[in-house]
Structure 1
Amino acid sequence: MSVTSRKPVHLALYDTFADWETGHTTAWLARVGYEVRTVAPSAVPVTSIGGLRVQSDLTLDELRPEDSSLLVLPGADLWDTSDDLAPFARTARAFLDAGVPVGAICGATAGLAREGLLDDRAHTSAASEYLAATGYGGGGRYVEADAVTDGDLITAGPTEPVAFAREIFGRLGDVFEGKKLDAWFRLFHDSDPAAYEALNS
């Protein structure tokens, strides 16, 4: 796929979003030529859990799966304290129904669990107990792993932004090839200096 033919990647943003969880993903996707566009509930700026105030590129009601390569949902306090972010989970369902990948990390996995999107897909999160508290029906599909890909759905817990990015890169298939993806992960996850040469060779 050429750079010019790639559709944008969409990063969901909402108040209290965890700004550290998607940095590896968006930075490297941008570096290889993806346009990263941000999506918020409305045109009002949102504030991250780290105090970053962000004006989004578009609103959620303007987002369509057919215009996107990927939807990324970061964690946020709001996933667990209100139903405000339920529309993002419903949008994730529309993306998956359309065959467009969705990546969810940390609290976003609970939002997808409440939407029923984890009932029939292998997945992970912060802990199995965390998702069980949502009352979802997918406990038997929970995997104790850093990050999990099942078809078009990628999930990860809050301490695994690098593994989350690796799974997204692997699913998209045009970010790093073969051994370079492994080298990228070893460099940024394991601090393996030998991986630097492999990544840049």
Structure 2
Amino acid sequence: MSRKPVHLAVYDTLADWETGHATAWLARDGYEIRTVAADSTDLVTTIGGMRVKPDLTLAELRPEDSSLLILPGADLWDTGDDLAPFARTARAFLDAGVPVAAICGATAGLAREGLLDDRAHTSAVSFYLAATGYKGGERYVDADAVIDGGLITAGPTEPVAFAREILGLLGAFEGEKLDAWYRLFHDSDPAAFEVLNS
């Protein structure tokens, strides 16, 4: 069965550690990972200094051509409106019934876009999102990762929980295998390795 690619947003100051588990395991499961920049395919530099050559721009991205849009955190989410086009793209994806996953600062961008007003969600801490002036404070959940209405959210310290929700949503792992994957990478449970590889 042919699968649509997973699209990973890339921009300067992207937090390298937040999406690696998700993208690596999706790729191992047969998903093509394509990187998307705002308006140029010039190199972007992550917060860790890695240089990434984007595959396409937001203008070229269509929800119907994607399995998922992943929005990593980045310093730029909190220093201006440079990344607002990614939040608007997330709205288009959700409106089209295509899931979105946002972690760390990307959750604040989605809050500013109004996408967390009517969905259960999480982030670093509740007051971080409250500072955006959004109207969804009562829907905030103090959890590692939350999925609601096709939107996955997580805080910056939870890349493994974030990946678990993504892998489960896209069927890379299910049931006992998904639980084992999480126990192995989150809890360092050696017994989980045997279950995962059985």
**Partner of residue 167, structure 1:** 165
Q: SS of the residue aligned with 2:16?
A: coil
**Matching residue's letter, 1:17:** L
What is the CA–CA distance in structure 2 between the aligned matches of 1:46 and 1:185, rounded to whole Å?
A: 30
Q: Distance in 2 between matches of 1:37 and 1:43?
A: 12
Question: Matched residues in 1 for 2:135 and 2:149: separation?
Answer: 19
Q: What residue is the counterpart of 1:73 in the other structure?
A: 71
2:187 corresponds to 1:190:
yes
How far apart, in 1, do the equivalents of 2:41 and 2:8 lie? 15
1:12 to 9, 19, 24: 9
Counting matched residue pairs gives: 197
Letter of the 2:161 counterpart: A
Residue aligned with 2:177, SS: helix
Q: Which amino acid aligns with 1:190?
A: D
The corresponding residue for 2:135 is: 137
> Secondary structure of the residue that 1:39 maps to in structure 2?
strand
Q: What code does the residue aligned with 1:110 have?
A: A
Task: Please name the residue that 1:30 is paired with.
Answer: 27
Residue number among 22, 45, 48 corresponding to 2:46 in the alignment: 48
- Structure 1 segments, 4+ long, off by >6 Å, are none
In 2, distance between residues paired with 1:110 and 1:14? 16
| Percentage of pairs with the same residue | 83
Shift of 1:65: 0.1
TM-score normalised per structure 2? 0.98
TM-superposed CA distance for 1:170, in Å, is 1.5
Tell me which residue corresponds to 1:84.
82
Distance 1:82 1:15 in 2: 13
Aligned equivalents of 1:176 and 1:45: distance in 2? 32
